[in-house]
A and B are shown apart, each in its own frame.
Chain A
Amino acid sequence: MSERVFLRTPWETLARQHVAVSFGMWVFLASEILLFAGLFGGYSIYRSLYPHGFLAAGRETDIVYGSVNTAILMTSSLTIAVAGRFARAGFGAAARRLLIATIALGLLFLVLKGFEYREDLEKHLFPGPDFPLAQKGAQLFFSLYWIMTGVHAIHVSCGLIAVGRLAFLSRRRVDWLWGSGSEEATALYWHLVDVIWIVLYPLLYLTGRSGHG
C-alpha cells in the first residue's frame, strides 16, 4: 500500500521517519531508566544500611508469583520481537496474532500481580501497624516493593495500551504494521518494561533466598 499514507510532516522519506521514531523512543527509554534509577539507588542504600531487615523482608515476597510473572513477561518480549520480524518480512497476519499474544501475556501478568497483591495484603505486608516483621528496614523494603511494582505495573499498562493500539490499527490492513514505524518503537518500549522487571525480580524476590539467609 502507498507509503504516502504513513508519511507525516516534517519527513521527506518514510525510511527516515521510521529511523527517527525509533531513535526518539531510544532517547525516551533513557529517561525511563533514569526514572527507575532513583528507586534502585534508594534500594541499594537502604539495603546496605539494613541488611537483616531486607533479607528478612525479601523472604516474604511470593517467589512463585514472581517467577511465573518473570517467565510471562520474558515470553511476551519474545512474542513482540518475533511479531516485528514477521511484520517486516511481510507476514502481517502472523505478526498481528503475536501482538495479540503479547497483550494476552501482559494482561495475565497484571492479573497475577493483582492476586499477588491481594495475598500480600492478607499477610499484612503493607507497612503499617499490622506489619508482621520487626526488623528495622523490613518496612522500608516493602515501601520500595509496593512503589517499584506499582510504577512498573503502570508502565505495563501503558505498554499494553500501546501494543493494543498496534493491534487495533492493523485490524483491517495487516501490512499497516510494517508501514507505520510505530511498531518498532512500541516493541522497544515493551522490551524496556521487561528489562526493568528483570532488575526488579532479583531485588524483590531473590533477596534473602540464597543458601545463607
Chain B
Amino acid sequence: MSATASLTAEAPNYLRDGSTLGSWLFTTDHKRIAILFAIGITIFFFIGGTAISIVRLELVTPAGDLVSDDTYNKLFTIHGIVMVWFFLVPSIPATFGNFLLPIMIGAKDLAFPRLNLLSWYLYIAGAAFTVITLIAGGVDTGWTFYTPYSTMFSNTAVLTAAAGVIVVGFSSVLTGVNFIATTHMLRAPGMTWFRLPLFVWGIYATSLVMVLATPVLAMTLLLVIAERWLDLPIFDPSRGGDPLLFQHLFWFYSHPAVYIMILPAMGVVSEIVACFARRRLFGYSFMVYCLVAIAVIGFFVWGHHMFVSGQSAYANLVFSFMSFMVAVPSAIKVFNWTATLYRGSISFDAPMLYAFGFLGLFTIGGLTGLFLATVPIDIHVTDTYFVIAHFHYIMVGGAVSAYFGGLHFWWPKITGRMYPGSWARFAAILMFFGFNFTFFPQFVMGYLGMPRRYHAYPPEFQVYHVLSSAGAAVLGVAYLLPLCYFAWSFFYGKRAPANPWQATGLEWQTSSPPPTGNFVAVPAVTDPYEYHPKEGPIDVQGQLL
C-alpha cells in the first residue's frame, strides 16, 4: 500500500503529461480523449436538461401559456435529440469505456488511438451541426423525425439536425470498431474472455450493436435529407412512397440504440455491486450470456414501437413475442445482482447507493416493458405518458444512475482526488426521490390517456403534471450537486490512493491517476471479482478469516 501511496499526484500521470491546449486537442491517449468526451457530454446534458426544464415549467398549467406551440415542439425535440445522441449513447462508452477498457484488460491504449481522436472530432462536428440547428431556430419534428412531417411539412432546421445525427453516428461506429478490436487483440497474457470484468463485456456487447445498428440510422436520415432537400420521392405517399418504411428503418436502429444505452450501464453496476458487497458476482457466465443475448435479441423487436402504426397484425404478434423474450435476460441480470448481495458485506458509499437506485428503477422500467409488449395494453398506452415514464425509468433511472455511480466509483482513479462522501450520498438519495416524483405520476396519467408531446392538456391531468414538475425541480438540484462537489474536489479534494475502495480489477493496480502508459509494471491477471476466496468464511469486514 505504501508503495502505491507514493504513486499519487507527484508521480508522472496522464493529466500532467503536457499541459498545452495542443497536448489535449491532439492527444491520442485514451484517457485524455475520455476526458474530452466527458466535457462534451456534460455540456449537452445540461443543454438537454435546460430544454426539458422549460417544458416541465410550461406543463404546470394546463394551458399553453409559457411558450408558443412551436417553441414547445422545438424544446421537446431538442431534448430528445441531445439526450439520446449527444449524451446517453456516448456517455458510458466514450468516457468510462475509453478510459477503462484498455486498463481493465492490461493494455497501454486502445487498438487505434488516432481513430479514437477522430471519434471525438466527429462528435464535435455533430455537436456543431446541432448548435447550428439551434441558432437556425431549432427543429420541431420530435427526435423520431417521422415522415412525411419531417420531409414535407416541417418548416424548421431538419436538414442540419439530421446531418448532426448522421455525423455523430459515425463517431459511435468508429468507437465501436475500436473497442471490438481492442477487446479481441489487446488482452494481457492470462486475461481470457471469461476472466474479463463484466464492464468490459458490457462495452463489448454495446460495441457490436453500435457497429451494426448505427449505419442504418445514418442511411435512414440520409434518405430524409434527400427527400427534403432534393425532393426525391422516397416516403411520400402521393408519389408511391410509404411513410411506414421510414418507421421500420428508423426503429431498426433506434431499438438497438436503447440497448447501446443500457448495456454499458449494466456493466458499471456489476463492477460496483461486486466491490461494495465484497462478493464475487453471482453467476458470472450467465451475466455474460445475458449481455450478449440482449444485444442479439434486441435487433428483432423494433416493431413494438409500431403496434398501432398500421403494420400487419401478424407483425404485431411476432414483435410482441420477441419483446417478451428480450425481457428475460434483463430479468436474470437483476436476480443475479440481488443474489450477489447475499452473504456479502455491504457498505453504502455513493457508488453503491446509485447501484441500489439502478436496481429498483431499472426493475420498474423493465417491468413496465411487459405492459408495452402486451399488444392490447400497448394500443391503449402507446403515444402517452406511460411510454415516456417507461423509457425514462430505464434511461434515466437506469443508465444515468449507473453513469453517476460510475463517476463516483472511478473519480478517484481518473482525477486522483476524493470527493466529499456525505454530499455524494445525499445527492444520490435526492436523485432517487426526485426521479420517482418526476416520473411515477407519468405512468398513472399515461394510463388515464394523457398523450405525449402535448403543449396544452385537459385540466384533469394537472395534478399529475404538477407533481411531475415538482419532482423535476428536485431532480435538477440533485444533478447540479455533483457538478459542484466534483469541481470542488479538483482543487481541494483529498489525494486518492491507488485503490480507495479496495476493489479488484486491473485499473486499481495502477496509480490514481494512472501514468500515460497505464501501468508501470505488468499487472497480475486473476479471475475477476476475487473479493472472497472460493473456500473459507469471511469476517464482518469482508476479510478472510
Contacts and interface: CB of A to CB of B under 8 A. Distances in A.
B449 interface: no
A31 B222 contact: no
Interface stretch (A59-67, A84-92, A100-108, A139-147): A139-147
B239 interface: yes
A35 B113 contact: no
A193 B112 CA distance: 23
Nearest to B216: A38
Contacts of B242: 45-46, 49
Given A38-B249, A139-B239, A24 B112 contact: yes
Contact of B181 (A9, A27, A49, A140): A27
B28 interface: yes
B259 to A, nearest CB: 16
Interface string B149-183: 00000000000000000000000011011101100
Contacts of A45: 242, 245
A16 B223 contact: no
Contacts of B460: none
B330 interface: no
B233 interface: yes
Interface stretch (B101-109, B390-398, B416-424): B101-109
A23 B180 CA distance: 9
Determine the interface band of chain B, counting residues with CB < 8 A from chain A: 35 or more
Contact of B212 (A20, A31, A128): A31
B241 A140 contact: yes
A20 B216 contact: no
A143 B181 contact: no
B249 A41 contact: yes
Given A9-B109, A19-B185, A31 B233 contact: no
Contacts of A152: none
B442 interface: no
B448 interface: no
A42 B245 contact: yes
Interface in A163-195: none
A16 B177 CA distance: 17
B5 to A, nearest CB: 27
Contacts of B107: 10
Nearest to A150: B226
A46 B212 contact: no
A36 B218 CA distance: 10
A121 interface: no
Contacts of B113: 8-10
Contacts of B215: 31-32, 34-35, 37-38
Determine the interface band of chain A, counting residues with CB < 8 A from chain B: 35 or more
B214 interface: yes
Q: Please classify the interface of chain A as helix (H, G, I), strand (E, B), loop, or mixed, using the class held by over half of its residues.
A: helix
Contact of A24 (B111, B213, B232): B111
B181 A31 contact: no
A105 to B, nearest CB: 27
A21 B218 CA distance: 24
A8 to B, nearest CB: 8
B177 A146 contact: no
A20 B185 contact: yes
Given A27-B211, A34-B215, A42-B249, A147 B226 contact: yes
Contacts of A24: 111-112, 115, 177-178, 180-181
Nearest to A137: B240
A115 interface: no
Interface string A45-73: 11001100100000000000000000000
Contacts of B108: 9-10
A1 interface: no
B110 interface: yes
A127 interface: yes
A30 interface: yes
Contact of B218 (A28, A35, A42): A35
B186 interface: yes
Contacts of B241: 46, 140
Given A45-B242, A137-B240, A139-B239, A23 B219 contact: no
B236 to A, nearest CB: 9
A198 interface: no
A46 B230 CA distance: 19
B494 interface: no
B110 A10 contact: yes
7 contacts: A10-B107, A19-B185, A23-B181, A24-B177, A24-B180, A28-B211, A144-B234
Interface of B: 28, 102, 107-113, 115, 173-174, 176-178, 180-181, 184-186, 211-216, 218-220, 222-223, 226-227, 230-234, 239-242, 245, 249, 252
Given A37-B216, A42-B249, A143-B234, 19 more contacts: A9-B113, A10-B109, A20-B111, A20-B184, A21-B112, A24-B112, A24-B115, A31-B177, A34-B213, A37-B219, A42-B223, A45-B242, A45-B245, A127-B239, A139-B233, A140-B240, A147-B222, A147-B232, A151-B222
Closest 3 CB pairs of A and B: A10-B108, A35-B215, A38-B219
